[in-house]
Amino acid sequence: MNRYLRAALIAGAALLLMQLVPYGRDHRNPPVVREPRWDSPATRDLAKRVCFNCHSFETVWPWYASLAPASWLVTYDVREGRRHLNFSDWQDGRREGESPAKVGKQIRSGDMPPWQYLLAHPEGRMTHAEKQRLIDGLGATITSSVK
């Protein structure tokens, strides 16, 4: 058997076996508990477009989130995102990510949204002006929510 064909068969078998791992298949979103007091509807709309898939209980799970190994990565990213900053379970500044300075730094540096998210979600791309509006709006939202 040709070694390229053998390699393709092994890779295909490995991908099929990965589907047996149950992690990353539960795509139920919990109910929204409490959102922050948004400074404006425009801030919420921009955050919903750019941030909510990983930082809320309103995740829209893409088709590839059901296929391993992508399902593992997507599930991990969503769980970590919600753990640090969750717009659907607002804790009034008790989470690490609920800091205006931290949020601003993450967006300004380009760490948020992460590059792997932007590959599949072009709607997450922002202009410089949109980034600044999001930073300012989230800063005002977080500051007013933790009072």
Predicted confidence (pLDDT) per residue in 60-75, tens digit: 999 999 988 989 999 9
Distances (CA, A) of 119 to 35, 46, 67, 82, 123: 28, 18, 17, 20, 10
Token pair of 81 as six digits: 């995102």
Report how many domains make up the chain: 1
Within 10 angstroms of residue 86's Cβ, the number of other Cβ atoms is 24
In this structure, which amino acid lies at residue 49? R
Flag whether pLDDT at 1 surpasses 90. no
The answer to whether 36 touches 141, Cβ cutoff 8 Å, is: yes
pTM, full prediction: 0.85
Choose the weakest-confidence range: 2-16, 26-40, 48-62, 118-132.
2-16
Distances (CA, A) of 30 to 6, 51, 126: 44, 17, 28
* Rounded Cα–Cα distance for residues 31 and 37 (Å): 18
Domain containing 132 equals: 3-145
Q: How far apart are the first and last CA of the chain?
A: 69
Q: Which residue has the higher pLDDT, 2 or 16?
A: 2
Distances (CA, A) of 52 to 10, 29, 44, 62, 99: 38, 12, 9, 13, 17
Torsion of CA 65, 35, 97, 118, to 10 degrees: 40
Token pair of 24 as six digits: 């990353």
**pLDDT at position 94:** 82
pLDDT band at 3 (very low <50, low <70, confident <90, very high): confident
97-127 pLDDT, tens digit per residue, is: 888 999 999 999 999 999 999 999 999 999 9
Residues 6-34: what's their mean pLDDT? 79
Token pair of 52 as six digits: 């909510």
75-87 pLDDT, tens digit per residue, is: 999 999 999 999 9
Residues 85-99: what's their mean pLDDT? 87
Token pair of 65 as six digits: 């989130």
Q: What percent of the chain has pLDDT over 70?
A: 93
